[in-house]
Structure 1
Amino acid sequence: MNDAISAFHFIRPWAFVLIPIAGAVAWWWKTNSDPLRGWRTQIDSDLLSALTSDGSSANDAWWKRESNLVFLSAGWLLAVVAIAGPTWKVEANPFAQDAQPLIILLKADESMASTALTTPPLERAKLKIADLASARKGEPLGLVAYSGSAHAVLPPTEDTTVVAEMAAEINPSIMPKSGDALDQAILVAGRLLENHDGATILVMADQANLDAKQVIDAHQSIGAPAIEFLSLLPEESQETQSLQSLADSLRGQRVPLTVDDRDIQSIIQFAERRSSTGLAGESDRWQETGYWLSPLLACMVAMSFRREKSERQEPAK
């Protein structure tokens, strides 16, 4: 919900210049819709009220004019909002025939297997990889494991179930040496992502224990693809802040771990946006939502054709 609110904007904000026209139309309506406007300048209001069919009719006519004015103004403003194009989500790029790869860089050193928490960070990461594999079923997903060294586990494959199964088998005991070689993992991911301009790298880690410049240099050397981090420790911890600082340095995104699938959905949406912008000559396409106001506008137009009650009196017999 917060992502939708922060992304909300209007595709054509210049359409709001039409609002002053609504004021001019309202003024014209108010000054020209009164059938007695000419008489009001010639006859006293009390006498004019007595000369009309009855006093209540004049009040009814005034109320009808005012309600029509409000109705017309509301319809105009609604139409302006629809034309402005309210939106909060990205539309899939029509020129992108296939989903772009997402490479997971899974940290697998001893700190990820820590039992200080009820569920170790590595086990949390494996569960999230299974959720991500299910959510991206049929879309290319790859896996790189790293600690003191980095190793390609699977190149991007549409069989995402295999990625989840391979991730489940990764643990610190199978890694050649301990440490934090995220820069090497990024270089390995770069080799797997050749000829994929719209691909995304996802780092799943508890913390970053290396010089940020090493990571930045490695990221730049493979073309600076979109990168995001899923932090596996509590938000207030210093370890999480180290990932946030690194994400800021790489102009990436850090996603907090959640108990539901909000983190997975955020990861997928980020990858889709970057996939669109990664295509040569293309930029983000925001989905039109103003057309949802069309049924309401149609109802307002239909109501404007309602039958009016006749005030004509039958002649006395």
Structure 2
Amino acid sequence: MIALGPLNFLRPEWLYALLALPLLWWWLRRRRAESATWRRAVDPHLLPHLLVRGNASTHRLAAIAATLAYTLAVVALAGPAWRQVDAPTWEAREPLVVAVDLSSAVLATDVPPTRLAQLRARLTRLLQAKHSGPIALVAFADDAFTVAPLTDDAANVALFVDALEPAVMPVDGQSPARAIAQSRELIERAGFPRGRIVLVTDHADGTAQRAARDARDAGITVSALGVGTPAGAELRTLGGQSVHVQLDEGSMRGLASNGGGDYAPLALDGSDDAVFATGEGAAARRGLGGGRTWADEGFRLVPFVMLFALIALARRPRAAALLLVVALLPRPSLAADVFLRADQRGWRSVDRGVDAYRRGKFDQAAQDFAKADTADAHYNRGNALAKAGHLEDAVAAYDEALRRQPGMADAIANRAAVLRAMKKPPPKGGQQQQPGQQGGASSHAQQGRNCAPGDSSCNRQSNNQQNAKGNAPKQNASSPPKPADAKQQAKADAAQRERMQRALQQAQAQQQKAPTQPMTPQQRERRMSDEAALMRVPDEPGTLLREKFRLEYERRQLGGGR
């Protein structure tokens, strides 16, 4: 960009085209000279019959109009700008995982009223702010556990903020390295090539420094948010020991340096926002982008270019009309597709596939999904193929999704359902099932009619509803069922609650239909059993977290791994 006083040119290289103006004038003078040559070679009384007499002023006006049209067109292409506007800062959809320290140290009072209160307030403000990507929450003490997996709905994460306290942790202590490992696992399992981890604690040992460096080498940035003061405070742990805790800013800065991220002390005035920024948003918050930009005003010159072009072509009405029609003819912009990256073209194909799926054109949706080489795209392609009746191809699509994202629960469940549908014998009488009425992904799509493929959270919600109805794929009877991890435990709690509520609703509906009929002892016993089971389902976030972390910790102690 160059500036000429108050005028700036965003694409100044186009101004070199003004060097062609002398050639334009030379061409016009040559045409006039050719006309003069004929006047010298032909007798004056024959000139009116051989040459079209033109008005000199008309020729001069046409030449001036052509020159102005060319000049204004070049200036418009150069991108003139004389005012600035607010530039929206683009932020990459990189995941953010916040790992918070829930050891006894958060009960210290070196920051009023307590570290825990400050931490809850900061998390609440973070979740209320608009975040461009998925966010997850991890709690750690001597071990780390997932409070909420990566999700675009920050309100779901906010439900657990007030329940965060050391009492929900199955073991006390501080192990920031395990928190980094747990956070990194959430990002990698979700299929993101990069992301950001924010560790909220008061110190980082050597093991945490190495974990942060390993995460940075894997493309995941690790930032640090210090909680507490260097002076620290005395406190009594949950085990009854009296200890002194303090903020070690040196180790926290070292953690951020090894992780390629930022460090800031916890603050409620927004001065620590750069710690949570991801992708391009991080650069913008550090002053490397965003803010105000020059507005391209070249389009304002286009009407004048067309006006002078029409004046220049006044004696050529056909050419002028053709030029006007071509200029006003609507046509798609080719530049929008030419300059797209491969991943952007893929996501456009996914959008087209979603639209085709909603309209019931499953074959077309499968073709569109095949143009994007991601785990979600192959998973949705499997759903479309299953709905279209191509069960073998659907299984292959699910296999492709699992190769790119091993352990994808939805793909595993749909693949098993499709395989079961393939093994079913055809109905008696030779009547075949219509495509889309078989098992597999079609059952998920029928339960989630408002779910579009490509919306992974919506698809997974449909799977939860499928499992809640008792149609979840069964495990192999020859192998014992694996203990549920944190995410599976949450799904199980939700499914159990839904089953109990459905049972009560059915019982109430039956009573309304036949209020005069007395309940049989079996019906009364079943109703009482359902009500008791529903009351046993924990509905308080703190209780859910405590039980979930306890089960996960016991599983790890038994050698189940992470």
Matched to 1:172, the amino acid is: P
Q: 2:294 aligns with which of 284, 291, 296?
A: 291
Tell me, in whole angstroms, the C-alpha distance in 2 between the residues paired with 1:254 and 1:90.
26
Tell me, in whole angstroms, the C-alpha distance in 1 between the residues paired with 2:85 and 2:222.
25
Aligned to 1:203: 199
Note if contact 1:92-1:272 (Cα within 8 Å) is conserved in structure 2: no
Q: 1:229 aligns with which of 224, 249, 252?
A: 224
Tell me, in whole angstroms, the C-alpha distance in 1 between the residues paired with 2:288 and 2:270.
25
Aligned to 1:258: 267
Q: CA deviation at 1:89?
A: 8.3
Note if contact 2:98-2:198 (Cα within 8 Å) is conserved in structure 1: yes
Note if contact 2:263-2:275 (Cα within 8 Å) is conserved in structure 1: no
Structure 2 gaps, min length 5: 6-80, 232-245, 298-562
Note if contact 1:200-1:274 (Cα within 8 Å) is conserved in structure 2: no
- Give 1 or 2 for the bigger CA radius of gyration: 2
Tell me, in whole angstroms, the C-alpha distance in 2 between the residues paired with 1:158 and 1:100.
11
Q: CA deviation at 1:107?
A: 0.9
Q: 1:127 aligns with which of 121, 132, 136?
A: 121
Aligned to 1:307: none
Higher normalized contact order (CA 8 Å, seq sep 6+, divided by chain length)? 1
Tell me, in whole angstroms, the C-alpha distance in 2 between the residues paired with 1:127 and 1:198.
28
1:69-80 equivalence runs, <5 A: none
Tell me, in whole angstroms, the C-alpha distance in 2 between the residues paired with 1:252 and 1:101.
14
Identify if the C-alpha distance between structure 1 residues 153 and 288 changes in structure 2 by more than 3 Å, giving closer, same or farther. Answer: closer
Q: CA deviation at 1:274?
A: 6.5
Matched to 1:257, the amino acid is: L
Q: CA deviation at 1:263?
A: 2.2
Q: 2:104 aligns with which of 103, 110, 128?
A: 110
Aligned to 2:252: 243
Tell me, in whole angstroms, the C-alpha distance in 2 between the residues paired with 1:133 and 1:115.
24
Tell me, in whole angstroms, the C-alpha distance in 2 between the residues paired with 1:228 and 1:88.
29
Matched to 1:92, the amino acid is: W
Q: CA deviation at 1:233?
A: 2.2
- 1:117-148 Cα offsets, whole Å, 9 max, x none, are 32222221111111010003684210111110
Q: 2:177 aligns with which of 183, 189, 207?
A: 183
Tell me, in whole angstroms, the C-alpha distance in 2 between the residues paired with 1:138 and 1:172.
30
Identify if the C-alpha distance between structure 1 residues 224 and 100 changes in structure 2 by more than 3 Å, giving closer, same or farther. Answer: closer
Identify if the C-alpha distance between structure 1 residues 238 and 174 changes in structure 2 by more than 3 Å, giving closer, same or farther. Answer: closer
Matched to 2:117, the amino acid is: E
1:207-222 equivalence runs, <5 A: 207-216=203-212, 218-220=214-216
Tell me, in whole angstroms, the C-alpha distance in 2 between the residues paired with 1:246 and 1:288.
30
Tell me, in whole angstroms, the C-alpha distance in 2 between the residues paired with 1:113 and 1:158.
30
Tell me, in whole angstroms, the C-alpha distance in 1 between the residues paired with 2:254 and 2:85.
30
Tell me, in whole angstroms, the C-alpha distance in 2 between the residues paired with 1:206 and 1:288.
33
Identify if the C-alpha distance between structure 1 residues 115 and 256 changes in structure 2 by more than 3 Å, giving closer, same or farther. Answer: closer
- 1:190-225 Cα offsets, whole Å, 9 max, x none, are 22112212421111112224534442355257x141
Aligned to 1:300: none
Give the secondary-structure state (helix, strand or coil) at the position aligned to 2:113.
coil
1:1-317 equivalence runs, <5 A: 15=2, 91-92=89-90, 99-136=93-130, 139-194=133-188, 195-216=191-212, 218-220=214-216, 223-234=218-229, 239-264=248-273, 266-268=274-276, 270-273=277-280, 286-287=289-290, 289-291=292-294
Note if contact 1:88-1:286 (Cα within 8 Å) is conserved in structure 2: no
- 1:148-205 Cα offsets, whole Å, 9 max, x none, are 0011111111221221221321222222222222221122112211221242111111
Tell me, in whole angstroms, the C-alpha distance in 1 between the residues paired with 2:275 and 2:85.
20
Note if contact 2:216-2:222 (Cα within 8 Å) is conserved in structure 1: no
Identify if the C-alpha distance between structure 1 residues 100 and 115 changes in structure 2 by more than 3 Å, giving closer, same or farther. Answer: same
Q: CA deviation at 1:250?
A: 2.0
Matched to 2:154, the amino acid is: T
Note if contact 2:121-2:268 (Cα within 8 Å) is conserved in structure 1: no
Identify if the C-alpha distance between structure 1 residues 175 and 150 changes in structure 2 by more than 3 Å, giving closer, same or farther. Answer: same
Note if contact 1:92-1:276 (Cα within 8 Å) is conserved in structure 2: no
Aligned to 2:54: none
Matched to 1:197, the amino acid is: P
Tell me, in whole angstroms, the C-alpha distance in 2 between the residues paired with 1:88 and 1:144.
36
Note if contact 1:140-1:158 (Cα within 8 Å) is conserved in structure 2: yes
- 1:63-105 Cα offsets, whole Å, 9 max, x none, are xxxxxxxxxxxxxxxxxxx79x999988316xx5xx3221110
Note if contact 1:92-1:285 (Cα within 8 Å) is conserved in structure 2: no
Tell me, in whole angstroms, the C-alpha distance in 2 between the residues paired with 1:217 and 1:272.
18
Structure 1 gaps, min length 5: 1-11, 20-81, 278-283, 295-317
- 1:260-317 Cα offsets, whole Å, 9 max, x none, are 23323x244x31427899xxxxxx99448452698xxxxxxxxxxxxxxxxxxxxxxx
Give the secondary-structure state (helix, strand or coil) at the position aligned to 2:173.
coil
Which deviates more from structure 2 when the two are superposed, residues 107-116 or residues 230-239?
230-239
Percent identity over paired residues: 20
Identify if the C-alpha distance between structure 1 residues 275 and 287 changes in structure 2 by more than 3 Å, giving closer, same or farther. Answer: closer
Matched to 2:180, the amino acid is: I
Matched to 2:223, the amino acid is: E
Identify if the C-alpha distance between structure 1 residues 130 and 123 changes in structure 2 by more than 3 Å, giving closer, same or farther. Answer: same
Give the secondary-structure state (helix, strand or coil) at the position aligned to 1:262.
coil
Matched to 1:291, the amino acid is: W
Matched to 1:219, the amino acid is: A
Note if contact 2:102-2:139 (Cα within 8 Å) is conserved in structure 1: yes
Identify if the C-alpha distance between structure 1 residues 182 and 288 changes in structure 2 by more than 3 Å, giving closer, same or farther. Answer: closer
Tell me, in whole angstroms, the C-alpha distance in 2 between the residues paired with 1:88 and 1:121.
38
Identify if the C-alpha distance between structure 1 residues 182 and 238 changes in structure 2 by more than 3 Å, giving closer, same or farther. Answer: closer
Identify if the C-alpha distance between structure 1 residues 216 and 118 changes in structure 2 by more than 3 Å, giving closer, same or farther. Answer: closer
Which is richer in helix?
2
